[in-house]
Copies of this chain bind each other. A is one copy, B any other.
Amino acid sequence: MLPNPSLERTATGLALGPLPGVVHHPSSGPSAIPASARSAQTLGNASPTMPPASSHISADTRFQEAAASLGYSFEGELKVGGNYVPLVRDGATLYISGQVPRVGSTVVVTGRVGSEISLAQAQVAAKVCAMRALALLQRELGSLDSVRQILRVTVYTQSAAEFTQQSEVADGASELLHSVLGEAGKHTRTSVGVYQLPKNASVELDLVASAKA
């Protein structure tokens, strides 16, 4: 991967680079996880540099780049916590179970956002949740290029009493979906602050997507 010559930081941390022809989203230049966020979370050996996006790069390649940037692997079993399933397909519609920022068997960002966990850390958590959802779509469809559209995303943030930046937390997930999927990553979104999440996760995300015919 070539280092991204236009690397810069954004308010919401990691962005995986602009996609040509995406016109409906506020622009988000290529960036990296702020070093402060990474060190605070011990996020592993995430590369601070991102490759330049290109219209010739598949969504699957962008997914791998995003995983490398986060410093996590999303291969292997994607554990779910109970007797339900991670994905159900209904015709062209794909429902994904709520994802917490679990990597392997560890929930990597836990605690209340706004007191124990910073906004930047929560944004990384939202990205990890979104990556898990993408990994599930990829396994079901064979390729992320077969995603037609992300229809709906709900982001739950375990919030301190006075924390009101739930939208900014969710921006982490929205940017990642957009960065990996381009136009197909455009989605509607609901962001709420909740009192507790399973496993003390800081963020939980679910989504509904549609597949190409």
Partner-B contacts on A (CB < 8 A): 24-26, 28, 81-88, 90, 93, 95-98, 149-154, 156-168, 170-171, 174-175, 178, 186-200, 204, 206, 208, 210
Given A151-B90, A195-B194, A198-B164, CB of A84 within 8 Å of CB of B188: yes
Given A84-B188, A151-B95, A187-B84, CB of A165 within 8 Å of CB of B90: no
CA of A208 to CA of B161 in the docked complex: distance in angstroms? 29
Which 4 A-B pairs give the minimum distances between C-beta atoms? A193-B196, A98-B190, A97-B188, A167-B198
A187 cross-chain contacts in B, Cβ below 8 A: 84-85, 88
**Do B90 and A199 touch across chains, with their CB atoms under 8 A apart?**
no
CA of A80 to CA of B96 in the docked complex: distance in angstroms? 24
